[in-house]
Amino acid sequence: MDTSTNTIAENRRARFDYDVSQKYEAGIELKGYEVKSAKGGRFQVAGAHVLIRGGEAWLVNSHIPPYQAGNTPSDHEEDRARRLLLSKLEIKELQGALVDKAQHLIPLRAYLKHGLIKIELGLGRSRKKSDKREAIKKRAHHREMRGGE
C-alpha cells in the first residue's frame, strides 16, 4: 500500500525549522471518536512535538477536534497528550539521542497504513537562522529553474 497518497496531516514547517537526520514510524493511541475525526482529515500535527517520559513516548500539542460535537463525551480534550506506540528499544535509542546530542523529535506527518493511523517522526537538529535563509535561496533557485524550462 502506498502511504504517500493516504496522508492525513503534514507538518510542512518541520522540514524548514529542523535538519532531519533519521525517520521513525510510530502508531498512536487514540479513542474511537478521535479515530473517525483523524481519518476525516481533521488531525493537526503542526506545532506538535514528542516527549519521552517514564519510558513512553508522548505526542504533545497535536489537535484533533471532535467528529460530531453532539456525540463527543464532555471530558474530551482536543489537545491532550497522546501516547505513541514504539518498541522499548526504539524509545531507549531516541531517549539517548535526545539527551546526548541535543536533538529534537518532531512529527513530520500522519498517514493511514493498512487502515491504521501512523505518525512519521523525524529526529533532527534545529536550523540556525543562516541555514534557513540558505534553504529559502535554494528553494527560490529551484523554482526559477523549473519555471524557465
Cell numbers found for residue 70: 453532539
Poorest-confidence range of 61-65, 109-113, 131-135? 131-135
Domains of the chain and any CATH numbers: 4-148 (2.40.280.10)
Residue 1: predicted pLDDT: 44
127/143 Cα distance (integer angstroms): 22
Q: What is the layout of strands, in order, in the sheet containing 82-85?
A: 7-10, 104-113, 116-126, 18-28, 82-85, 56-60, 49-53
| 21-32 tens-digit pLDDT | 999 999 999 988
The pTM of this model reads: 0.80
Say how many CA atoms lie within 13 Å of 2 toward its Cβ. 2
What is the DSSP track for 1-22?
--SGGGEEEE-HHHHHHEEEEE
